[in-house]
Amino acid sequence: GPPSSRCQAALALSMTLCIAGRTEEALLEGLDALARSREGEDPRAIGACLALLSKLYANAGFADAAAALNG
């Protein structure tokens, strides 16, 4: 499918995994979503992915990585 659809699917899966407490897998899906959003050159999707990844990194105990994404 198109990058935007794959981005949305990866974001949804990432959020679901996060809720289930599977942080590492959520991070991987979040990174995949970011790659698809960049592939599709969608600024709103890129922002959403970065916001989610920042929260995921913070939840995983990587405050420096979270801060860098907010930077």
Asked whether the predicted pLDDT for residue 7 surpasses 70, the reply is: yes
Q: What is the mean pLDDT of residues 5-24?
A: 94
Confidence at residue 71, expressed as pLDDT on a 0 to 100 scale: 67
What digits encode the pLDDT tens for the residues 26-64? 999 999 999 999 999 999 999 999 999 999 999 889 899
Q: What is the mean pLDDT of residues 11-26?
A: 94
- Measuring CA to CA, which residue among 48, 34, 44, 47 is closest to residue 6? 34
User: Which pTM was predicted?
Assistant: 0.89
Q: What is the DSSP letter of 60?
A: T
Tokens 């599709």 belong to residue: 40
Asked whether the predicted pLDDT for residue 3 surpasses 70, the reply is: yes
Task: Round to whole Å and give the CA distance between 21 and 60.
Answer: 10
